[in-house]
Amino acid sequence: MTQVEIFTDGAARGNPGPGGFGTVMRFTDSAGRVHEKELSQGYERTTNNRMELMAVIAGLEALKRPCEITLYSDSQYVVNAFNQHWVEGWLKRGWKNASKQPVKNVDLWKRLLAAKAPHQVEFVWVKGHAGHAENERCDELATAAADGEGRIEDAGFEG
């Protein structure tokens, strides 16, 4: 199985406000060549958590075959949802959290689960704004997308 590293970050100017995500994908081919791809998109009105999710979704959806992925995020919201098995509880409770309230951003969580399904994914938390080169690059991509031209509507955002 191809091994891929995915680095992600989301940003919002105000919460809600204009936002964006940045994703860096990297793998080494059988000849030892490193391939890297950057993805980003800005949105007119969204939240930071939605952009953190979109960064992960964009990376997973860009893959064309099942892969073994190490996914790095500075979002404890994203990482803990898998590493602390929150998602499993949400599914058992019909997309309700432990307090029996509806899970926020369920549209994106469902999309993320569908995108993740064919892959083996390990989620790794990295401290944001702490000099982690790929996380810093994702932050640059996300903030540039949030501040730039070509922002689109976040169709699932309710706020």
Residues with a known catalytic role? 9-10, 52, 74, 129, 139
Residue tagged 């990376």 (tokens): 59
Was 38 annotated as part of a binding site? no
Was 154 annotated as part of a binding site? no
By the 10 Å C-beta count (0-12 exposed, 13-18 middle, 19+ buried), 38 is classed as middle
Q: Which residues contact 99 (CB under 8 A, 6 or more apart)?
A: none
User: In this structure, are residues 82 and 91 in contact, taking their beta carbons and an 8 Å threshold?
Assistant: no
User: In this structure, are residues 59 and 41 in contact, taking their beta carbons and an 8 Å threshold?
Assistant: no
Was 107 annotated as part of a binding site? no
Was 9 annotated as part of a binding site? yes
| Closest by CA position to 9, among listed 131, 140, 151 | 140
User: In this structure, are residues 106 and 94 in contact, taking their beta carbons and an 8 Å threshold?
Assistant: no
Bind-site residues for Mg(2+): 9, 52, 74, 139
